[in-house]
Amino acid sequence: MPTELQTGATGASRGSDIAVRMEGVDKHYDDFHALKKIDLEVRSGERIVICGPSGSGKSTLIRCINRLEEIQGGRILVYGRDLTAGSAAVEAIRREVGMVFQQFNLFPHMTVLENCTLAPRRVRSVSREEAEATARRYLERVRIPEQADKYPAQLSGGQQQRVAIARALCMNPKIMLFDEPTSALDPEMVQEVLDTMIDLAEGGMTMLCVTHEMGFARKVADRVVFMDEGEIVETAPPSEFFTRPQHKRTRKFLGQIGIQQQNIV
């Protein structure tokens, strides 16, 4: 079963081994300095969890990677391609980078299947039959094949988020970005989405996940990135991050989310 995900994600055959490289990235919202000289390198196949207090710049950081946000300084390379090199580069990079949002952002006027086939058909010029076959495969992968002809509003939150994941996967991305994918879900639906993400991670997908699900971080993350006030304060493998945090700010943050730490996957 995991084969299609693996073929969509293994890094070796993909040229550059560095999936994402941020060099001195600066981001301002008017007067507000949202990202301060961010340096981050993500290898192909790596799973990164980004956490930090509200307003620390986590969403801003991952939204810069597919240029939903423009940056004012520094460079971002995705598989060696410079995002600041113009709109052709941006287009090319967006094809390779999937994104899942906190609020799902499914297209409400389209069925699940149409949600999943729109981009492959328009962007990759895949035939309808092929796009639908791929979509059904991924819907099965996220365990909702029977919902293909429903509209998003007819699904539960957890199902909608799994559709959103399938929709992104249908573009066959090399990198997946997640921005608090479980934060808008009722507690009983969190696990089904996390399971889907774990499955994806085990398939070898390069992932950058903003999440406070520390159980997920422990289980799948290669590195945990802790952000505060627009800076990366600390980066460490989960084993170190949770047991021996180096910085006071990290320890304070971990203390604050102590309850969530018991929420083990």
Partner 1 sequence: MIRPFGFNEFLFILTAVQWTIALSAIAFCGGGLGGLGIALARTSSMKLLRLVTTGYIRLFQGTPLLMQLFLVYFGANIFGLPLNAWIAALLALSLHASAFLGEIWRGCIQAVAPGQNEAATALALNYRDRMRYVILPQAARIAVAPTVGFLVQLIKGTSLASIIGFMELTRSGQIINNATFEPFKVFGVVALIYFSLCWPLSLLARRLERHFARSTAR
Ligand X SMILES: Nc1ncnc2c1ncn2[C@@H]1O[C@H](COP(=O)(O)OP(=O)(O)OP(=O)(O)O)[C@@H](O)[C@H]1O
- H helix intervals, the chain: 3-7, 58-65, 87-96, 112-123, 128-141, 157-169, 187-202, 214-220, 238-243, 248-256, 258-261
Q: H-helix or E-strand containing 233?
A: strand 231-236
- Contact partner at residue 57 from partner 1, Mg ion, ligand X, none, CB < 5 to 8 Å by partner kind: ligand X
196-255 binders of ligand X (CB under 6 A):
none
The single residue among 21, 27, 58, 167 that binds partner 1, judged by CB under 8 A, is: 167
The single residue among 56, 161, 206, 211 that binds ligand X, judged by CB under 6 A, is: 56
20-79 binders of Mg ion (CB under 5 A):
59
CB of 179 to Mg ion, least distance (A): 6
The single residue among 35, 171, 201, 221 that binds partner 1, judged by CB under 8 A, is: 171
Q: Are strands 206-210 and 175-179 parallel, antiparallel or unpaired?
A: parallel
CB of 63 to ligand X, least distance (A): 7
Q: Does the footprint of partner 1 cover residue 105 (CB under 8 A)?
A: yes
CA 204 from chain center: how many Å?
A: 14
Choose one: 55-63, 76-84, 85-93, 163-171; the region binding ligand X (CB under 6 A): 55-63
Residues 172, 90, 19, 161, Cα dihedral to 10°: -50
Region of 229 on the Ramachandran plot (φ > 0 left; ψ -120 to 50 alpha; else beta):
left
Q: Does the footprint of ligand X cover residue 54 (CB under 6 A)?
A: yes
Nearer to partner 1, 96 or 228 (CB): 96
φ, ψ (nearest 5 deg) of residue 35:
-130, 130
The single residue among 59, 117, 160, 206 that binds ligand X, judged by CB under 6 A, is: 59
* Cβ count within 10 A of residue 239: 11
Residue carrying structure tokens 């919902």? 147
Burial 118-128 (b: 16+ CB within 10 A, else e): bbbbeeeebee
207-246 binders of partner 1 (CB under 8 A):
none
Q: Rule CB under 8 A: which residues touch partner 1?
A: 66, 68, 91, 94-95, 97-99, 101, 103, 105-109, 118-119, 122-123, 153, 164, 167-168, 171, 177
